[in-house]
Each structure stands twice: as C-alpha cells, then as structure tokens.
Chain A
Amino acid sequence: MNAPLLQVENLTMRFGGLIAINDLSLTARQNEITGIIGPNGAGKTTFFNCVTGFYKPTEGRLTLTPPDGGTWPLQAMQGFRIAKKARVARTFQNIRLFPGMTVLENLLVAQHNRLMAASAFSIAGLFGLKSYRKAEAEAVEKSRQWLARIGLEKSADLPAGSLPYGAQRRLEIARAMCTDPVLLCLDEPAAGLNPKESLELNDLLLDIRQTSKIGLLLIEHDMSVVMKISDHVVVLDYGARIAAGTPEQVRHDPNVIRAYLGADEDEPLPAVVAKDLGEQ
C-alpha cells in the first residue's frame, strides 16, 4: 500500500442550514487514483473546493503530506497558497482556461511562481538577464513536452478558447500538471467527451500516475472512466461517505446501488444501471 498523501478527517461544510458535507473522512494515497462518485448534489465539488481552498471548511481537518516531507494543514490555508506551497492542482467542471491567451501562454502562467522567482520579481526579466532567459527557455521546453503528450504541439500559438472541447479538457489537465503538483484534483474531466476522447483521457491519467508518481483525486460521472482507472473509490451521498473500496467492492455495495437508484435492496438491479456501473 502506498503512503497516505491527503488525509481528510471529519470534514464538514455547512452553507447556512444546508449541510453539503457531513463528517467526511477519507485518505488519498500517493501514486494512486482515488475516484469520488455520487449522485448529483452529493457534495463532490464542494469537497474539492474545500481541498483546494476555495471554501473554508466549517469543521474538520485536511492534512497533506507530500513525499518530499512536510505537512500542510489545508483547512487553514488560502486558496492560492494551497496551490503554491502545498502543491495541490485542480481542474474545473466547467473548463477554466484563459481563453484569450494562447495554449503555450496558458502553460507558462501555470509556471508563474518559478518564473517569477527566476525573473527576480521582474527586475532580471526587465533587463533580459541570462538567468531569466534560461529559466524561460526551460519553462517553454516543459510546456512543449506537455503539449506533445496531449497532442497539441501544433496548436501552441492558438488562443486556448478556440480549441475544440476535448482539447481544452486535456489542456486544462496539462496546465495543472505544469504547476508540479503532488496532488491533482480532477473535477469531471470526461464530461462532454466522446467515447474515443474518454479512452484517451484514461490513458493520459494512467500515464500521469505512472510517470509523475503523484496522487490523483477524480470526480467523475462517467463510470467507464472511474471504474476502469481508479485504484480506490469513495462514494458520497448527501455529503456523507456511504461506501469505499476497490471499484469491484463498490460496484456491489448495496448502499451504492440504493443511492443511485433509490431501489429496495432485494430488488434486482435493472440491466441498464448494471451496465452503467460497469458490470458485465
């Protein structure tokens, strides 16, 4: 078993009277893909927003322990610091690229903090010093490698907003990866993709896990993605965890079936749903 990367303990998030997340505990591990599934409104995106600092959790602790040492109490950190210091990157359900900037520029913005330091907060950059030029060339090279990986090298100088939908999804993942994260949170990366693109996405995510050795958190509705590539699946319903385990375990969990269908336990699973859950 891999070492724990993100430990969530008793996380609760309330909006006024609404409890979006209720006493949630889970562990995401290095070098593993942790899938988070659940019906609409189960609190999946809210959970992501707590992890990445867009919301401040009402209660509970989120502890990140990167492999290279240190511990980060995410619940007490500002959003941009979580990305900068604790190195948690994310993508968004509705793609949030910088549409007017080029594909390459999008990837360079992701390397902002390193480049900023290299430009000595713009001073070295303003005078075009060699140290900065070298850092920029490295950043461009890194971007080029990522573009090659997602097959967008040719489109590097086009505005990101002009790319087709699937390419924008891939670019957003590449952009998140350019921040050198230890944990990558993907919010429905397969939404809106066609089956072929979905398969390519699977390969890309498995490849990222393989080569970058980072932890991935994955929210997904597309069961063919979740069940195929997740090492571990957590099921949420009404903000609480109702099941966890390997995809195989979760698939047969009666609680999960009930949450998705509202069906009685002893009723047989309709064929359509069984297929959706990835059963043969």
Chain B
Amino acid sequence: MSNNYLEIKNLEGGYQASQVLFDLTFEIPKTGVTAIVGRNGAGKSTLLQTIMGFNKSTSGSVTFDGNDLTNKSTYARTRLGIGYVPQDRPVFSDLSVRENLLIGASRLPKKERTNLTPVLDIFPKLANRLDQKAGTMSGGERKMVGIARALIGKPNLLIMDEPTEGVWHGVVDEIQQRLMEYAKSNSILIVEQNLDFTIGMATQILLLERGVISQRVSASDKGEIATLRKRLTL
C-alpha cells in the first residue's frame, strides 16, 4: 500500500494549443502539507486545475489513493475524497454561509450532512455569521468560508489555490494554525505566493518554474529554504 495519496507521473497539460506543464512527476504523502511555489505564470494554478480535471491533461497520469483520475470528471474526483478551494470566487455569493457549508457536504452520509459543528470548531467566527449572505463578507472571511466548505466534506486531500490572497494577516495566522492541525491526519496540497505562510506549515516544497519542477525542498532544510527564497525574490 502506497504512503502517498496523490501520485503524478509525467504530467503534461495546458490550455488548447499552449502547453503550460512539462513532464511533472511528484507525490503527495497521506499526511502533511505539500506546497507548490513559483512566480506568476509558472503554471501553479494550471497544475491544480489539471489535478481537479478542470483542464484536461495531454499526457501522463494522476492517481489518487490507487484510483486513476486521468479520465475522470471533476465531480467524480471530488467524490473520491479531494476537496478544492479555488483562487477566485471561493463562495456562492447569493447563498448564506450555512448554505455554502451544506453544499460542501455532498459526499457525506445523509445523517452527517447537516452537522456543521466540526468546521465551526475550526472556524468559530463563522458560527455567528451563518445566516449572512456569503457575498456580503470581506475577502478574508469568504476565503475562510471557502476553506470551511471544502473541509466539511472531510476530504482526504485538500487542494488550495492561494488561500491567503487578499486576506488580512491576522486571519492568515488563524488559517495557518487551523490547516496545520488538519494536516496532522490528512493531506494538503497548497499553491501560495506568501512564502512565510508556506514555509511555516509545509513539509515539502516544490518550486515550479515555466511548468517544470526545478527544486524540491524539505521544510526542515534551512539551507535549501534560503536558496529557494533567493530564487523567488531574484
């Protein structure tokens, strides 16, 4: 039995004629946080969207917990136990916070679908805002709802695209703590520009440059982290 949830082999993809991802191979272990960092346009979001099946890969394979995802649709991938927090439009604006959270519970047994307690324990601030329309919340709060909605489905692997973008730093710290707690027994794949946030929680970091993984760093390796910082700030 593999120790990895996600196994990506020789993955290539992009948008129509334009290839963005080149021969990517990496694994995501069953616990901990894997971060993908890189400059704008490196292909980070494209990679996540390809893993989620929103963009079709042109070659290679994506396997989740032994299931080949390559030809599976987005909703089928979600049902296997992958949660996804998109970078933009993280909430359904016209729906209340409660309704947004309930939508995330589709893969749970019927009896568990209305139990919001587990995510309200993680994000207690949302408990007082359950009846508020999600579209009227601040950017940071919307991100929080987006993450909570993905978590309510109890995904084995949580994929997040820029969860701290536009979020007030106080909320960023809170999000980081909650996610680190979650990653003790689950797996998180995160794309993030905020390097301090990423380094603070990641167990492995992959640097993506022009659609290619150019550096693999263990979070405990201070020297490698310093090199990575330099490469990203050059």
Q: Do A and B come from one complex?
A: no
Chain A positions near chain B (C-beta within 8 angstroms): none
Chain B positions near chain A (C-beta within 8 angstroms): none
